[in-house]
Amino acid sequence: MAKIVTFGEAMIRLAPPHFQRLEQARSLDVEVGGAELNTSVALARLGHQVSWVSRLPDNPLGQVILNRSREAGVDTTQVQLVNDGRCGLYFLEFGAAPRSSSIMYDRQESSFARVNRDDFHWLNILNGASWFHVSGITPALSNGAEAATALALQTARMLNIPTSIDLNYRSKLWTPQDAGRVMSELLTFCDTLFATENDALQLFDIRGNSFAEVAGELIERFGLKQVVGVKRETPLVWRNRFGAVGYADGSYQETPWYDVEIVDRLGAGDALAAGVIHGLLQGNFTQGLEFGAALGALKHSIPGDLPYINMADIEAVLSGHGLRIQR
Amino acid sequence: MAKIVTFGEAMIRLAPPHFQRLEQARSLDVEVGGAELNTSVALARLGHQVSWVSRLPDNPLGQVILNRSREAGVDTTQVQLVNDGRCGLYFLEFGAAPRSSSIMYDRQESSFARVNRDDFHWLNILNGASWFHVSGITPALSNGAEAATALALQTARMLNIPTSIDLNYRSKLWTPQDAGRVMSELLTFCDTLFATENDALQLFDIRGNSFAEVAGELIERFGLKQVVGVKRETPLVWRNRFGAVGYADGSYQETPWYDVEIVDRLGAGDALAAGVIHGLLQGNFTQGLEFGAALGALKHSIPGDLPYINMADIEAVLSGHGLRIQR
Amino acid sequence: MAKIVTFGEAMIRLAPPHFQRLEQARSLDVEVGGAELNTSVALARLGHQVSWVSRLPDNPLGQVILNRSREAGVDTTQVQLVNDGRCGLYFLEFGAAPRSSSIMYDRQESSFARVNRDDFHWLNILNGASWFHVSGITPALSNGAEAATALALQTARMLNIPTSIDLNYRSKLWTPQDAGRVMSELLTFCDTLFATENDALQLFDIRGNSFAEVAGELIERFGLKQVVGVKRETPLVWRNRFGAVGYADGSYQETPWYDVEIVDRLGAGDALAAGVIHGLLQGNFTQGLEFGAALGALKHSIPGDLPYINMADIEAVLSGHGLRIQR
Amino acid sequence: MAKIVTFGEAMIRLAPPHFQRLEQARSLDVEVGGAELNTSVALARLGHQVSWVSRLPDNPLGQVILNRSREAGVDTTQVQLVNDGRCGLYFLEFGAAPRSSSIMYDRQESSFARVNRDDFHWLNILNGASWFHVSGITPALSNGAEAATALALQTARMLNIPTSIDLNYRSKLWTPQDAGRVMSELLTFCDTLFATENDALQLFDIRGNSFAEVAGELIERFGLKQVVGVKRETPLVWRNRFGAVGYADGSYQETPWYDVEIVDRLGAGDALAAGVIHGLLQGNFTQGLEFGAALGALKHSIPGDLPYINMADIEAVLSGHGLRIQR
Amino acid sequence: MAKIVTFGEAMIRLAPPHFQRLEQARSLDVEVGGAELNTSVALARLGHQVSWVSRLPDNPLGQVILNRSREAGVDTTQVQLVNDGRCGLYFLEFGAAPRSSSIMYDRQESSFARVNRDDFHWLNILNGASWFHVSGITPALSNGAEAATALALQTARMLNIPTSIDLNYRSKLWTPQDAGRVMSELLTFCDTLFATENDALQLFDIRGNSFAEVAGELIERFGLKQVVGVKRETPLVWRNRFGAVGYADGSYQETPWYDVEIVDRLGAGDALAAGVIHGLLQGNFTQGLEFGAALGALKHSIPGDLPYINMADIEAVLSGHGLRIQR
Amino acid sequence: MAKIVTFGEAMIRLAPPHFQRLEQARSLDVEVGGAELNTSVALARLGHQVSWVSRLPDNPLGQVILNRSREAGVDTTQVQLVNDGRCGLYFLEFGAAPRSSSIMYDRQESSFARVNRDDFHWLNILNGASWFHVSGITPALSNGAEAATALALQTARMLNIPTSIDLNYRSKLWTPQDAGRVMSELLTFCDTLFATENDALQLFDIRGNSFAEVAGELIERFGLKQVVGVKRETPLVWRNRFGAVGYADGSYQETPWYDVEIVDRLGAGDALAAGVIHGLLQGNFTQGLEFGAALGALKHSIPGDLPYINMADIEAVLSGHGLRIQR
């Protein structure tokens, strides 16, 4: 399998059990998550050697994230434990219709956000890698994070390593203007983009009548190879419909819809990205979309952000095995 | 915001977790609830100063109810801690289709039921109040409770304070005949009535082809200003449809239906009442129904009887924000 | 009520809470289950005197199974506690669409599997009994278990005690060939068979256009009195549709479908069997199917394998009481 | 082994976890307990056939007590499930020095307290029994309970069945005067008495310089065979010293002290009684004290009131096996 | 009872259950605590009207602190909910010998620390108060907090309101030099000081052969009325010895030692302060020390920082009631 | 730091919470443990690169062990996931005086026990290693395991890699005769032995008046370099005294005693071994004993078998920091 490098922050996630409001909480369940880490875990479980590059405080909270990444099979040798900044946290409330789930971030002054442009030696880190992946959250965290992201992408391009970016625009981190300006630069070093039509509109003022149209425009403007999106319907909080859409080589394709019963909605998009990367590493974009849709759909059934999913699970979904109990 | 007074019993609620039968229980979750207390909490969270008038045993169980009422923002200075009677309890089993949820009461000889007609000094308590609310459960608990309720309502009327009664007929507490007789008297002091068509039939032998017809008859018979009801469909235990209906000034109105995923069905009607009262205090019955429907629908998503709901939650529902995760 | 005898293994069931994968588990919920034990519990709760015949290791795990059987009202005086073999275990993962629930067995070398043909004195045990029930899992466990099952069935036939077999083919325990050969012999001592069309096809190469056709063929081939099956639709993991089908005296009948919200799907078929046996003991096959469908549907709502169901629950379902909360 | 009959109430016990005050409780652990039931369980686990005679409400709470008694191996065929009265409850707070543990009862109007003198057919129930045991709590519960207790003791005496009474004076249930009067009568039908020096003083105005002196006086006054007491030191809440003392045939004896680490102090005295009865049934009072002290000491280590203790545990304690982990 | 005002920060406390390291945590128990809030709760439960003055973020975490303060009976009308800064957190690991318990703070940039000198209108707040209490943690949090503390103390002195300061030096917040300089100024407005000999040495370079000597020097230097200290022995983590020492009017006194079994050691000093203040408000320093020692000792037995202690608990301790279970 | 190789089985540990007997269990806490794995984790946390060599079933239970080893920082690349055999389990009951803790194994037919002599390529595995460690449990598991252990030790000796063996005699796995015979052979390839006087007596018939005498005899007979033992006093279950003793170069030494409050006694000896190895790798046996005693003592305070201990914890213990809370 391939060596894959990802770059981004992970946080401790704290959520009250059983649909409690935070106000009611007497205990909080502890999970860890972060866009690139989530993707890394999915890829590691498919057999790849995945090096997640990050920065964590050298304290028990940072250690929790390090430990769980290792538990999930991710290579953490490029994670720096530093005495600079705190551990990012986020608080999650699980909802039920008509109350949606919601997230409150407490990530200011994190060790990751305090990264400097040159804290990582990308030439060494990317040496021998077959893929580099990052999300749009990473450069949003600070100027240093933006600079480090740019350096990583440039180095990857220089080494002819395929790259992917999950646009993942977060309005609480930066304005559409700032995001548009920064991501426009970064996308010039990108091969595969994960994006929604809405983000394309907000960040790049690209509008179209369809995902295909928007994706085509993105590919043209930034010199991408393919664009991948999520399709999702949310009639309820505990039940959605989910699938993947993609555009490459001038043609649009989409997977079937999956009915998903939602145990934990977080990380579905990150799992989807892992499936697409896995497919592309095998040279098969169509299969990548299928893997991605299956991984993303399955992620909804698993507590926490990390996708504890095996290839056997994916195959069961793709083969239409049905939903009877497996004995 | 307004000063609001409510009067009624609250109980400790004990429920086994995760859909267990009581027979299977090894632990019981502890909540507190009571029709008027639930309504009080919803109103307090909307910014009103709500004085819940009640009677509790001066022991740790009574203290639990007192503490949690205070936690939820309710003024408990008119709650009497007495060495007379026990703390009412109720046991709840959460169901799943085709097994409905069910409640077993253990509330005999409670401190509240032992109340005497003159235990509360209503002239003082209601001084400066803008609203008085009570449910039909309160007078059902004992002769003393009935007398105290009557005195409260009469005093409110005397002071020109608007009053509301939630009919809330409970067949385990009294017969339709007794309930009909007592409530007929009390309703002559009532402005806003919360009632179902079925209760109107059982208690007052009022029948009609529609909520409007029944409500019109209730208004006429008892000199009410408006009647409010709940509309609910129960295709499953974990998923209902819910909304509010109202009749005032000769015209019927209803809110849209809400699909609700049910974490905890208890207290939905009490939350609805709070929304209506909130609207009426602003002179807007239509908005009251909307607030009430949103509050009632949201309550299904929150564990416990007490409605941990904010105005922001209501606005999100009323503005049709959708059910995607809020980041 | 009647004396009923059943024969089979029970295991400790270990399942992570809240839809976790086993890999994520930090604690496992402990339940006990076994096809015949589950059926025994349902029958005991309907008022029958049910003697479950089994074999358990004389250690705390065996004791857990013994204790809980007793708790549920089953007569365990014919359960042998032995110093031979271990306690069977099974691990359960609860799923959510598109991930189905799944079971991993760890039951090798169990005390029950080490049973010998003559370990039980069936003449004594069956003395005075009105029914004998066993599943196809029991003979699959070992040669000794097969021989003991045959002896039990032969003795019951000799004593003119009605017998039932739940075919329950488990591909992890034996091949269709072995199962077909053994069950063909055992079925000659059977009156009431619980079976699916698919099992009939795999084990006996019986195929037909309908349950009725297959059941008719089974009755003819093995000299049965009636055949009962389950009908189930699985559009989702948390919600199924469920009912009973039956064939006797040349005619087919089926119950209505029940929408079931699934707390715990295990043991539904075993509960259904209990309902049918209860009906047949009263000489009413149609009512047996109705009882069975109600019991099976209700079982989905109860955590664990053991059906904590009362006749009042069944009556509520059969009378179409609806799904509102019962106060 | 012997057939033993006991008579008394059992209650549901509700206790907050981890040393919380009741005021802090968000969940309560559910156990069942009652002096005679606790003793019954200990005796059943030593191999006796123990029939616990009681009265419970026919609702899920009564069923919990019935189920768990059965689980623990007690014969419950003489427990009446009635539609009369409620289920007794008690609330327990676990303490830590300098805060002692404390109990709040909520047992008024229980089904047991509503027993009538003739509700049980003692001639049948005691037929073939080798022992009858009751505590002083039972007659304290109501006049009916007192009358039924008297009838039971008289019947036992008439049938020459040895009897034991655990004095167990509870000041919350009756005055020393009432207790003294009633117990004085009942003790004339008693062979073995469990009592403390303090209770002897309060109830019977018997005072002495030693347990032996007091016991001698009790034996003389009431015509007893032997008197057994507990010795206990309570330097801390989590650690006590515990043992048994006895007086019979004019001579005093005592067991060694046991250091006990306290998981759950409830039921220690009841377990001690079981050990003494077990010894006396084998004709060996000295051994009875030893068994009793070991059972009582072991009970402190086990959560809940019911003594999940085996003969192997007792033997380990009596043989001085030490406190190293047993592999 | 008296009106008492306190001023300080409170934080959310997150602690893994059952002696886990933070690294092992899968869930965290949620408590709230803060030196002055803890003291306020103890005083409120003794019947005083206690206004805790503070500043919290207007988000669910701030709301948790507000709610629980209210639940515990504290007046929170002077707590400002602001959109400025985050909610302070602290993480607690419970230890066992030879591993001590430990705390990791995550309180930077809290709403409280961002307080400005003039955010509170002390003349209004202190109007009618009988006592003002603050700890040395409050001025350590920021320059604004220091200024606000000074203003509060000056206003109290101006209004002739007795004041107390708990020195509570925290080396993670400031240097001994800074603390010494600031506290020297603040202590000139203080009547009652809670301090340890070690803090006196570090901050003020005061050394003596005994608590009395050091206290005398503190009184002289800062014009105090009395100085109170804690005496504590820590032979183990789960068991300490605890008591109070005091110096006033030239004479030293101390309470007896209490053996404490430690459920939760946090807040013991704050509870002690409350007892002393309670005694001083009644004009009895000696009794204040006794109350303080009892409250502090009892606090060790209660989970969380907030002292859920009643006067009855204190009286039981002071009267030497012993450690037997209270029925 | 050094590369260290260990070889042995790990099991899933299942234990009921809060001192429950297994019979009472409704849930079981899941930990993983194994003598060599435990030692590996302690060494990895001290900074060494530790390769744990083992064999696990390729199923979710095996995966749990693999994941948690990785989480704890152990290199698992030499762990074989096989479709042969089951996952070893053990069930643990936590005791309280006078009931000792106890373990029930369910490890027959484990994947590890089915190992063959040549399943591991020791030349490769040990290449570059500075230490090899194994316990006497490993060869006890099967003939294959014995052969593989011998091969590993021989290879280490051949490569001049220092070796250690923890004798760890388990009477449930083999007889003293078998153990004595096998271990006598293996010890000829051993440098550092961990052993108790009692094991030396049982296995090798070596008796002496002191640890030193026995150790000297062991060194002489098997050509060892040093022998290390545990000293432990068990006055209670929750509190022991613990330390290390050692003999090398003809001289005996011991560490001070540590009072330990016992959260989880498992793995203390394995942690001690890690400390000794760490010291010996630095060429300092005395320091190794000190590290070992501190690690072993600290392990008692940490839930689970795996020693979540840092060098900072060890240093705190060795420096006598006391047991006050660390802020």
Dump pLDDT digits (tens) for D260-285: 999 999 999 999 999 999 999 999 99
CA distances in angstroms from D273 to D13, D128, D163, D245, listed in the order given: 21, 21, 12, 12
Alpha-carbon gap: F89 to the closest alpha carbon of chain D (Å): 13
State mean pLDDT over E223-251.
Answer: 97
Condensed to tens digits (0 to 9), the pLDDT of residues D106-119 reads: 999 999 999 999 99
* Predicted confidence (pLDDT) at residue F121 exceeds the cutoff of 90: yes
Taking CA–CA distances from A29, the nearest residue in chain E reads E27
Contact E190, E166 (CB under 8 A): no
- Residues forming a β-bridge with D99: D96
Alpha-carbon gap: F72 to the closest alpha carbon of chain A (Å): 7
Residue whose pair of structure tokens reads 């971030």 in the numeric block = A105
How many CB atoms within 10 Å of residue D209? Answer: 8
E11-15 vs E27-33, strand pairing mode? antiparallel
Angle between helices B211-222 and B176-187 (to 10 degrees): 60
* Predicted confidence (pLDDT) at residue E327 exceeds the cutoff of 90: no
Condensed to tens digits (0 to 9), the pLDDT of residues B33-64 reads: 999 999 999 999 999 999 999 999 999 999 99
Q: Which tokens sit at A31?
A: 């999970």
* Cβ-based contacts of A135 with chain B (< 8 Å): none
Condensed to tens digits (0 to 9), the pLDDT of residues A258-290 reads: 999 999 999 999 999 999 999 999 999 999 999
Across the interface, whether the CB atoms of C313 and B102 are under 8 A apart is answered no
pLDDT of residue D1: 79
Q: How far is residue A81's CA from residue F313's CA, in Å, rounded to a whole number?
A: 19
User: pLDDT-based confidence at C1, cuts 50/70/90?
Assistant: confident
Condensed to tens digits (0 to 9), the pLDDT of residues C263-302 reads: 999 999 999 999 999 999 999 999 999 999 999 999 999 9
| pLDDT beneath 70, residues of chain D | none
- C24-54 per-residue burial string, b: 16 or more CB within 10 A, e: under 16: bbebbbbbbbbbbbbbbbbbbbbebbbbbbb
Torsion angle (degrees, nearest 10) of CA A51, A56, A59, A60:
-60
Condensed to tens digits (0 to 9), the pLDDT of residues D103-150 reads: 999 999 999 999 999 999 999 999 999 999 999 999 999 999 999 999
Of A261, A313, A327, the CB nearest to C97: A261
State mean pLDDT over B240-263.
Answer: 98
* Predicted confidence (pLDDT) at residue E178 exceeds the cutoff of 90: yes
pLDDT of residue E195: 98
* Predicted confidence (pLDDT) at residue F212 exceeds the cutoff of 90: yes
Write the DSSP string, A67-135: HHHHHTT-B-TTEEEESSSB--EEEEE--BTTBPPEEEEE-TTBTTTT--TTSS-HHHHHTT-SEEEEE
Contact B42, B295 (CB under 8 A): yes
F166, F191, F264, F270: the active-site residue: F270
Write the DSSP string, D211-236: HHHHHHHHHHHHT-SEEEEEEEE-SS
Chain A residue set in contact with E, beta carbons under 8 Å: 14, 17, 21-23, 25-30, 59-61, 63-64, 67, 86-87, 89, 91, 93, 104, 106, 108-109
* Cβ-based contacts of D304 with chain C (< 8 Å): none
Segment (H or E) for A39: helix A35-45
> DSSP letter at F227?
E
pLDDT of residue A327: 87
Which chains have at least 3 CB atom pairs separated by less than 8 Å from chain E?
Answer: A, B, D, F
Q: How far is residue F43's CA from residue F164's CA, in Å, rounded to a whole number?
A: 14
Average pLDDT, chain F: 97
pLDDT of residue A321: 84
How many CB atoms within 10 Å of residue F183? Answer: 26
Chain E residue set in contact with F, beta carbons under 8 Å: 18-21, 23-24, 95-103, 105, 170, 172, 232, 234-238, 265-266
Q: How far is residue C147's CA from residue C39's CA, in Å, rounded to a whole number?
A: 22
Ramachandran angles phi, psi of D30, nearest 5° = -105, 115
Segment (H or E) for C131: strand C131-135
Contact F255, F243 (CB under 8 A): yes
Name the residue type at position F23: E
Contact B190, B225 (CB under 8 A): no
* Predicted confidence (pLDDT) at residue E1 exceeds the cutoff of 90: no
* Predicted confidence (pLDDT) at residue A109 exceeds the cutoff of 90: yes
* Cβ-based contacts of B73 with chain E (< 8 Å): 67, 70
Of E301, E308, E316, the CB nearest to D23: E308
User: pLDDT-based confidence at F133, cuts 50/70/90?
Assistant: very high
Confirm whether F75 is a catalytic residue: no
Across the interface, whether the CB atoms of C236 and A308 are under 8 A apart is answered no
Ramachandran angles phi, psi of B229, nearest 5° = -135, 170
Taking CA–CA distances from E310, the nearest residue in chain B reads B60
pLDDT of residue F206: 97
Across the interface, whether the CB atoms of E19 and F301 are under 8 A apart is answered yes
- F75-90 per-residue burial string, b: 16 or more CB within 10 A, e: under 16: bbebbbebeebbbbbb
SS3 C212: helix
* Predicted confidence (pLDDT) at residue B302 exceeds the cutoff of 90: yes
Residue whose pair of structure tokens reads 């030497």 in the numeric block = E320
**Substitution target from F30, F84, F86, F305 for chain C, most C beta carbons within 10 A:** F30
Angle between helices B197-204 and B176-187 (to 10 degrees): 100
Of B217, F106, A197, D195, nearest in space to D183 by CA: D195
Alpha-carbon gap: E72 to the closest alpha carbon of chain F (Å): 25
State mean pLDDT over E41-49.
Answer: 98
**Substitution target from E19, E71, E313, E327 for chain D, most D beta carbons within 10 A:** E327
Alpha-carbon gap: A28 to the closest alpha carbon of chain B (Å): 15
Of C261, C302, C303, the CB nearest to B236: C261
* Predicted confidence (pLDDT) at residue B1 exceeds the cutoff of 90: no
pLDDT of residue F25: 97
User: pLDDT-based confidence at C327, cuts 50/70/90?
Assistant: confident
pLDDT of residue B172: 92
State mean pLDDT over E224-248.
Answer: 98
Q: Which tokens sit at C192?
A: 């009431």
Across the interface, whether the CB atoms of C294 and B235 are under 8 A apart is answered no
Condensed to tens digits (0 to 9), the pLDDT of residues E272-281 reads: 999 999 999 9
Name the residue type at position C176: P
Calculate the CA A64 to chain-centre distance: 20
Q: How far is residue E6's CA from residue E2's CA, in Å, rounded to a whole number?
A: 13
